[in-house]
């Protein structure tokens, strides 16, 4: 069998949530199934680290796919011609984009449908593309994967998809993440936060991540407690985000907020593992990989009580109302002051994290692919 794969998010040193899902699952699937061949379709020159095994054939499309018009050309014209030219049995995409072409079988993993629920978070042409194509992608594929029961139920209710068509494939966690030593923690706090304890946020900087309320809650925590803690924010802006800049300027403790930009997994492990707790209080998450990365590092989490986050966190952290600054503030205060609470969350996190691994993710994705041929 020949499986064509959309690998447009396989970018060296620039992998994020959906990119990591594709990277980790495809690395295992290609190596575990040498009896099959895989056609990796890149949109720019590829890095050899993404050619995981001898049964991978890399090709590059004639154009990159960096905005809506190019997405249309890539997925509705160029990719169908490549798939048909190579006589692939299936087109697989692990990042939500796929084709409406019906000349071959398709499997698509849609991680969440935030563009449908919060279109104003996206630039004009991007939201127009997503709102037109996402419902059609979900309905037209042979099978559909997603990363949580929440996202599955969301697509069932929003798009009217048959539940039997959707596979739930949880994310896993990179093996680099592990608890830090006391020496590593001291050194990292010195480098990142002037030797102070700190809370950490990990993810892209966009409106659905609820950065404004997180900043307001941190400021209220500082005003209330006068504790020395900093807030370290790891990630890059996805789109223009004026609300975050406005909130920063209004803070009393703006100087205690530290932006690092994107970090390598090795540095991120030290940064995450040396924190008092992870803050991920998004308005919407299809999963939330930093939650299990934190658990893997023995770091407590404060997260939202909506969408997929309670499913991922379980009882291993504090769940807050993401629309309430006071709810977030109260959780930060509790986590900063209550060492027993932190220890309890860490112990429960060690149990909860066992539910998630990239080996399981790869096995479940492969099982979904096989169902396309039943």
Q: The domain that contains 102 carries what CATH number?
A: 3.40.50.2000
101 with 204, same domain: the answer is no
Dihedral angle sign, alpha carbons of residues 256, 183, 355, 169: positive
281 part of a folded domain: yes
| Burial (CB count within 10 angstroms: exposed 0-12, middle 13-18, buried 19+), residue 159 | middle
**Does residue 100 lie in a domain region?**
yes
Kindly state whether residues 187 and 254 are assigned to the same domain: yes
**Considering the domain boundaries, does residue 294 fall inside one?**
yes
Within this chain, do residues 131 and 233 fall inside the same structural domain, yes or no? no
* Residue the block writes with tokens 């996202």: 151
> Are both 332 and 363 inside the same structural domain?
no
What's the pLDDT at 64?
87
Least Cα distance to 316 among 361, 360, 355, 349 occurs for 349
277 part of a folded domain: yes
Residue 63 confidence (pLDDT): 86
The number of folded domains in the chain is 2
Which of 146, 70, 116, 299 lies closest to 208, judged by CA?
Answer: 116
User: Could you tell me the two tokens for 178?
Assistant: 């592990």
Asked if residues 161 and 113 have their Cβ atoms less than 8 Å apart, the reply is no
pLDDT at 299: 98
Query: Is residue 22 domain-resident?
Result: yes
Q: Are residues 140 and 288 in the same domain?
A: no
Indicate if 114 and 223 belong to the same structural domain. Answer: no
| Residues lower than pLDDT 50 in the chain | none
The pLDDT of residue 123: 87
Contacts with 321 (C-beta within 8 Å, 6 or more apart), sequence order: 304, 305, 327, 328
149 and 199 in a single domain? The answer is no
pLDDT of res. 133: 96
Give the residue among 147, 216, 311 at the shortest CA–CA distance from 319.
Answer: 311
Same domain, yes or no: 31 and 114: yes
What is the C-alpha separation between 283 and 174, in angstroms, rounded? 25
Name the β-bridge partners of 39: 4, 57
Q: Is residue 177 part of a domain?
A: no
Are residue 288 and residue 362 in the same domain, yes or no? Answer: no
What distance in Å separates the CA atoms of residue 103 and residue 80, rounded to the nearest whole number? 8
pLDDT tens for residues 287-313?
999 999 999 999 999 999 999 999 999
Same domain flag for 165 and 279 = no
pLDDT for res 334: 98
pLDDT in tens, 220-254: 999 999 999 999 999 987 666 788 999 999 999 99
Pair 146, 224 in one domain: no
CB 108 within 8 A of CB 95: no
Task: Tell me what pLDDT residue 17 has.
Answer: 86
Domain that holds residue 243: 182-355
Check whether residue 218 and residue 100 sit in a common domain: no
């Amino acid at each position: 069998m020949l499986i064509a794969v959309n690998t447009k998010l396989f970018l060296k040193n620039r992998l994020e949530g959906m990119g990591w899902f594709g990277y980790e699952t495809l690395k295992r699937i290609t190596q575990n199934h040498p009896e099959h061949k895989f056609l990796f379709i890149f949109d720019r020159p590829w890095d050899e680290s993404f050619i995981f095994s001898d049964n991978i054939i890399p090709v590059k499309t004639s154009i990159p796919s960096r905005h809506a018009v190019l997405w249309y050309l890539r997925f509705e014209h160029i990719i169908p011609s490549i798939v048909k030219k190579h006589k692939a049995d299936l087109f697989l995409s692990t990042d939500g984009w796929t084709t409406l072409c019906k000349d071959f079988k398709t499997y698509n993993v849609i991680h969440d449908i935030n563009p449908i629920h919060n279109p104003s978070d996206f630039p004009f042409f991007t939201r127009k593309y997503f709102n037109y194509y996402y419902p059609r992608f979900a309905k037209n594929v042979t099978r559909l994967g997603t990363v949580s029961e929440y996202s599955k139920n969301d697509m069932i209710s929003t798009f009217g998809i048959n539940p039997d068509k959707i596979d739930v494939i949880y994310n896993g966690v990179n093996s680099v993440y592990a608890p830090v030593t006391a020496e590593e923690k001291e050194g990292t706090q010195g480098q990142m936060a002037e030797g102070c304890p700190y809370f950490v946020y990990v993810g892209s900087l966009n409106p659905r991540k609820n950065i404004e309320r997180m900043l307001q809650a941190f400021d209220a925590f500082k005003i209330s407690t006068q504790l020395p803690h900093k807030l370290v924010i790891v990630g890059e802006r996805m789109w223009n985000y004026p609300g975050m800049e406005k909130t920063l300027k209004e803070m009393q403790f703006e100087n205690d907020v530290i932006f690092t930009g994107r970090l390598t997994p090795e540095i991120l492990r030290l940064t995450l593992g040396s924190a008092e707790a992870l803050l991920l209080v998004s308005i919407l998450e299809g999963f939330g990989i930093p939650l299990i990365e934190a658990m893997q590092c023995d770091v407590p989490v404060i997260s939202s009580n909506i969408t997929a986050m309670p499913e991922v966190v379980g009882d291993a952290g504090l769940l807050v109302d993401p629309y309430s600054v006071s709810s977030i503030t109260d959780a930060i205060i509790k986590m900063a002051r209550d060492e027993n609470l932190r220890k309890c969350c860490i112990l429960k996190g060690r149990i909860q994290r066992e539910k998630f691994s990239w080996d399981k993710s790869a096995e479940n994705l492969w099982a979904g692919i096989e169902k396309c041929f039943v």
